[in-house]
Structures are given as C-alpha cells and as structure tokens.
Structure 1
C-alpha cells in the first residue's frame, strides 16, 4: 500500500465512523465530528482528524503539521472553547519512511492550548508501523480513552493490512 492508498483507507474509515470529511489538495484530508459526553463532565469535544502524506516524515515536519492542524481546528470550531467545549486534533502524517525522531515525537508529545489539544501520529509504511501516544496527558485526561479509540479505529497498523482487505 502506498501513502495515498492508506489515506483513502482512512477516508473510508472516517466516513464509516460518522465524520464529515473534506479534502484539501494536493494531499490533505480533514475529518470532523462533534461529541457530547456526560462522563466528560458534560462537555462537547470538537474532534478533527488531519491527514497528510509525504515521502519522508521528520519530527520537525510533524511538529509543524500538528501546530498548523491545531490552529486550523481552533479557527474552524474553537470559537466558544472553555468550560463546556473543547477542541481535539489527531494530526497524522503518512509517509513511505519516517525518522526515529518523528516516531519519538508522536509517542511522547501532546500540543496544548487553552481548551484545545493535538495528538500527533506517524504512519511509516516501510517499517509497517503507526506511532502515536499510548497514554494521554494528565491535563485533558478525561478524553484519553476516546482519543485512543479514535486513533485505533481510524488508523490501522500497516502490518495488519498486509495480505488482508483493509476496507
């Protein structure tokens, strides 16, 4: 599978999971959904999933994409952030290859602003691995299991797709 094939797979999974999806040429995809949960202390989370493709993922490139994704999400859906509403982002860069530093960034970093956060993820098709946080930060911890479930549902590990119908 190549980067655009994986991105198409994510597109299909976003639609199946109830996201509103739009593309931003040449190689970006954005999914959006809004969820309210009492267990989140009766808050609404505006979750955006930004997916881009590149031949080679670097930590610096992932950091820039994650910041840009969070900034976009705040502009698009974060006007009333605060006590009862927040913005979450999963920023995904799919590459043929990824630096070790890019994987480390995805495994350890959460980008935060007031009532807004972003979890970066890397999909390295050559290494057949997806890297993202396995546990969330203490600030915003109420959303951790939801974020983890969304990443697992939308971004399959590439090695699980070998020899299988990914859709």
Structure 2
C-alpha cells in the first residue's frame, strides 16, 4: 500500500505519484525526516538525514532528497531543478557553514511518464559539484520504469561515492 501523496485524495494514484509514495516510505524506513512542501504549486517531497563518518575525514554529510512529479522531464527541467535543490539544501542545512567539517549531498529527483532521453543521459553522465555540495540528479521514467542517475566514483567527492551509490540504490531502485 502506498502512502498518501498530498492533494490526491482517494483517487487512484498515477505511476509517478505511486513512485513518490514508495520513495517516501523508503526514506522514512532509512531514518530520514520527510515532509511535503509546495514549490510554486507543485507538491515536493523533501527527505533529510545527516551522517558522520571518520572515513570521510571526520565530516558530517547532510543528505537531502527532493522529489517531484512533473508533466515532462527535459534537460533544462532537471538542470533547473538540480540548481533549485542545491540552493534549498544550502539554505536549510543549518549548523556550521558548508565546508567546515560538513558538506551537503543531494538527490534532486524528477519523475514523469514523458521523459526526453537526453535528460536521462544528463543525469547519468556525472555528479554535479559546487563547493562542499554534491548532487546526483535522478530522472525516473514511470512509463518505462527506468531510473537514471550517476552511479560512478568521481575524483572530487570520491570518499562519499559508495555512500551515494548505496543510498541511491536503496531509495530509488528498492535494493
């Protein structure tokens, strides 16, 4: 049974809404705080957790997962959403400034049944990095049941790569 997505009452959920409900339950099961926000009229799922590891050079990583169902996913759509999520994470992290023994990781996720293959390629190509903030955009094609995200180990932020791969698999692939 899927959890209820705000604004969708008792009607049968679309594949995109059902996927977001599943992601929310996976985030909650992993100990993330979750909530729904309204971003310019679009219901957005926000999940958050923070982890500290000595193996990360004694740093704390604040992980944000921000997900929304949209009518269509294009490269400009996922690129713009990734920028919004990065800014949101920096503005809402709290605590010490970014880069002072802590960093930000984010999964900006868009789901739709209409997806430009170029948007999937863009998400799978690389991790996006700005000072002490790493994002791994996720594009979900609910019609094809395909999840596209970068699963590699980049030079910058390599110490966190296994963590991102594990959390991405757990949250978006259900592994």
Task: Provide the residue aligned with 1:84 in structure 2.
Answer: 101
Give 5+ residue unaligned stretches, structure 1: 161-167
Partner of 2:148: 131
Residue by residue, what CA displacement relative to the aligned partner does 1:91-146 show, whole Å, maximum 9, x if unpaired? Answer: 10011121111001100132221111111011101122100012032101100010
1:34 to 40, 43, 50: 50
Deviation at 1:83, TM superposition (A): 4.0
The list of structure 1 runs, each at least 4 consecutive aligned residues, that deviate by more than 6 angstroms after superposition, is none
d(CA) in 1 for partners of 2:58 and 2:122? Answer: 31
- Which whole-Å deviations, capped at 9, do the CAs of 1:15-72 have from their partners, x for residues lacking one? 0000000101332100000000011111000000000111211111000000100010
1:100-111 equivalences in 2 (<5 Å): 100-111=117-128
Q: Distance in 2 between matches of 1:103 and 1:136?
A: 18
Which 10-residue stretch deviates more, 77-86 or 35-44?
77-86
Partner of residue 122 from structure 1, selected from 129, 139, 147: 139
Aligned residues: 158
The 5 A counterparts of 1:1-167 are 2-25=15-38, 26-77=42-93, 80-156=97-173
Give the TM-score normalised by the residue count of structure 2. 0.85
SS of equivalent residue, structure 2 residue 87: helix
**Contact kept in structure 2, 1:103 and 1:131, CA below 8 Å:** yes
| Contiguous gaps of at least 5 residues in structure 2 | 1-13
Question: What root-mean-square deviation, in Å, do the aligned CA atoms of Structure 1 and Structure 2 show?
Answer: 1.6
Q: Distance in 2 between matches of 1:11 and 1:155?
A: 10
User: Does the 8 A contact of 2:74 with 2:118 survive in 1?
Assistant: yes
When you count strand as a share of all residues, which structure comes out higher?
A: 1
